[in-house]
Amino acid sequence: MRAVVVGASSGLGRCIGVDLGRRGDQVALLARRYDRLVDAAKEASPGTLAIACDVTDESSCQAAIEEAAAGLGGIDALVYATGIGPLAPIEKHDADTWRRVLETNVIGAAVSPTPRFRISRPRAVSPPTCPHSAPRSHPPGRGSPAIT
Ligand SMILES: NC(=O)c1ccc[n+]([C@@H]2O[C@H](COP(=O)([O-])OP(=O)(O)OC[C@H]3O[C@@H](n4cnc5c(N)ncnc54)[C@H](OP(=O)(O)O)[C@@H]3O)[C@@H](O)[C@H]2O)c1
């Protein structure tokens, strides 16, 4: 499987990306902190790609997806593990904070699989073994679209 993991420089995305690479999938790791992506790619497997990307910048995001598609020879699955959640009482969140949260958590997820790539076929993906992930109560669904 050729997988892109967005938000792969730390946390869940890093865990998923490294595990996919270790189990033999071809993986591209995306996030803003390139040095961390390079470290994660080394941990994953030879050939794992590290690509800098800011999901709040649509052109950066689309360029990164294109680079990943070219490097992997296509994309079968995209994991969007990017997420921010500023911790503060709600009255202390200003409009800019809300915009950043929406741009990162919602709009970025919508623009990552850029529409100019063709969604070709569904694929079931079994979950990787993250140390802190909860056991699934149901089998994985039909899974991610493929991008070619
Ligand atoms: N950890 C858990 O157990 C858990 C459980 C349930 C839900 N969640 C949710 O899952 C999401 C991720 O959690 P996490 O613990 O993995 O967080 P995390 O360690 O902070 O990871 C967030 C990832 O998103 C990337 N990111 C943030 N802003 C970005 C941007 N503008 N462009 C590109 N990449 C960006 C970060 O990389 P850069 O900073 O390098 O860009 C990082 O790789 C959050 O929404 C969280 O609420 C987490």
In the predicted model, what is the mean pLDDT of residues 91-99? 88
Question: Is residue 87 scored above 50 in pLDDT?
Answer: yes
pLDDT at position 141: 45
Confidence of residue 35 (pLDDT cuts 50, 70, 90): very high
In the predicted model, what is the mean pLDDT of residues 8-13? 97
Q: Please tell me the least confidently modeled range out of 18-32, 55-69, 74-88, 132-146.
A: 132-146
More confident residue, 69 or 146: 69
pLDDT at position 86: 85
The residue contributing the CA closest to ligand 1 atom 38 is 32
Instruction: Give the chain's length.
Output: 148
Q: Cα(121) to centroid of ligand 1, in Å?
A: 27
Query: Within 27-126, where are the H helices?
Result: 34-44, 58-72, 95-102, 108-111
Q: Cα(7) to centroid of ligand 1, in Å?
A: 6
pLDDT at position 126: 56
Does ligand 1 have an atom closer than 6 angstroms to the CB of 141? no
Distance between CA 70 and CA 64 in Å, rounded? 10
Confidence of residue 9 (pLDDT cuts 50, 70, 90): very high
Distance between CA 97 and CA 82 in Å, rounded? 16
Does ligand 1 have an atom closer than 6 angstroms to the CB of 131? no
pLDDT at position 12: 96
Q: Cα(13) to centroid of ligand 1, in Å?
A: 7
DSSP 8-state assignment for residue 91? G
Q: Could you tell me what percent of the chain has a pLDDT over 70?
A: 75
What architecture does CATH give domain 2-129? 3-Layer(aba) Sandwich (3.40)
Does ligand 1 have an atom closer than 6 angstroms to the CB of 56? yes
Distance between CA 14 and CA 70 in Å, rounded? 21
